[in-house]
Amino acid sequence: MILQIIAVTASLGLLIAALGLSVLWLLRGRSIGVMLAVVAVVTVAATLAGVVAITMEMIIDGHPKDVVLTVVAIAGLVGLGVALVVARQVVAASRRLVVSVEAVSSSLEFTPPPGPLPAELRTIARALDQAYERLREGHERERALEGARRELVAWVSHDLRTPLAGMRAMVEALEDGVVDDTATVRRYHNQIRLEVDRLAHMVDDLFELSRIHAGALRLTPRRVGLGDLVADALAGVEALARAKGVRLTGETPPVLPVYADAAELGRALRNLVVNAIRHTPQDGAVVVRATADDGTVRLSVADACGGIPEDDLPRVFDVAFRGEAARTPGPDRGAGLGLAIARGIVEAHEGAIAVVNEGPGCRFEISLPLSVPPAS
């Protein structure tokens, strides 16, 4: 008897399940409410079919059979009704979420739908909120980069036009014989050479910055001693410091290694030191220090520039920012790209760079992880 009951109910259940799966496959592109209703109908139908078949054929007869069938029918209708109500609620919540998404304006401000949502839809709403937040941040960065690019093009065009006009005037004077005394000719030649060197340096900076922004900066990291890095950077700017009358000091522990690209990190440090020398008055001092604590290496460059206005501190590392109203550079001024290049190089090393006012000037600090080569 038990085996017969199992065989009958299992056969009916499998048949109804197969029909239900076929209907679900045909309706796979329809509303989730319709699919939930189909699932509820399949569940109730399988239960009712088994109970009715057993009741009609084997177990109960007469008035008790009518009672059982009535109870089963009512239970099936109740279950189906509850399933339909739940399906309508899920569909309504889904539609509220869709309306909230469609209401997102160009500002990308997403407002979750009012009222309670099922847990899965709440998760989707939170994910949408985070996604729109990332999109807003990305658009803001894109607008900032576009503004910086336009500003850079305008400023660099001005910086290129001024020395080119001067060199053209000197070349024409030499060609026309307006200047013929030896001292003046020599001075013109020296000035042209200096301007060419400055323009070449500006072009190099632009190329480096374009590599950084394009993500084409390729690092070759290896174990580097910071003492050697600081010594090389100071040696490379010693002539500039001597010409300005600025004292250079390097303070590094005997052995303090870091895993980095020596050439690129040295360029970043050299840019910071050159910037410090340019803004430090005569008889001032520029101090370069290297320290390590809590698994972090810090390279700091302190100068005597008199400090940076608080409003300018967040913009110090922006492209072409010089902290001055006049865009015409002095004889020892750069194009305002050195600090932006330094930030790009440091961030490519997964480090951070910052600046604070301290003492008679300000202090730029590079922070890098004191780590061994990553495991392959």
Q: What percent of the chain has pLDDT over 90?
A: 6
Rounded to whole angstroms, the Cα distance separating 365 from 363 reads 6
Rounded to 5 degrees, φ, ψ at 323 are 70, 30
- The mean pLDDT value for 235-246 works out to 88
- The per-residue pLDDT for 142 is 81
Mean pLDDT of all residues in the chain? 78
Sort 260 into a burial class: Cβ within 10 Å, 0-12 / 13-18 / 19+: buried
Separation of alpha carbons 103 and 92, rounded Å = 16
Nearest 5°: the CA angle 157, 243, 182 is 75
Q: Which of 265, 254, 262 is nearest to 227 (CA)?
A: 254
Tell me the pairing of strands 247-251 and 285-293: parallel
pLDDT, tens digit, for every residue of 302-344? 998 888 888 888 888 877 666 654 334 444 555 567 888 889 8
Let me know: does 343 contact 264? Beta carbons within 8 Å: no
- The one-letter code for the residue type at 300 is S
The reply to whether the predicted model has a pTM over 0.75 is no
Cross-strand pairs, 224: 258
- Which amino acid, one-letter code, is at 163? P
Encode pLDDT of 343-371 as tens digits. 989 988 888 999 999 888 899 999 988 76
